[in-house]
Amino acid sequence: MQSTINQEEINMLRSELELLMKERQGLLKVTGSAAGLIAELDSHDLPKGAVEAAELLASTINSLAEETLKDALNSVHAEIVQ
């Protein structure tokens, strides 16, 4: 009985982990796409409200760990150009 419960728990945890990994991949794609968009924007061509939204997005992206940002850019096949 104990091993059945443990196996059921293991299966539930495995399923949950798989869901979380899929969600992470989706979030990395969104983040990578957003980073690419921000990199291409010319703030002089945007309305003030759009500039404020872009600045908020850029600061949020910049607060990510470097490795996470690299993963996000890789997920959309983007490159960091310095």
pLDDT for 42 equals 87
Q: What residue ranges in 19-82 does DSSP mark as E strands?
A: none
User: What's the pLDDT score for residue 74?
Assistant: 94
For the chain, the structural domain boundaries read: 2-75
54, 24 in Cβ contact below 8 A? no
pLDDT tens readout for residues 50-64: 999 999 999 999 999
Sign of the four-CA dihedral 55, 61, 65, 66:
negative
* pLDDT for res 5: 76
Q: How many alpha carbons lie under 13 Å from residue 63 in its C-beta half-sphere?
A: 6
pTM greater than 0.85 = no
pLDDT for the residue 59:
95
Distance CA 37, CA 75 (A): 14
Under the banding of pLDDT at 50, 70 and 90, the label for residue 45 is confident
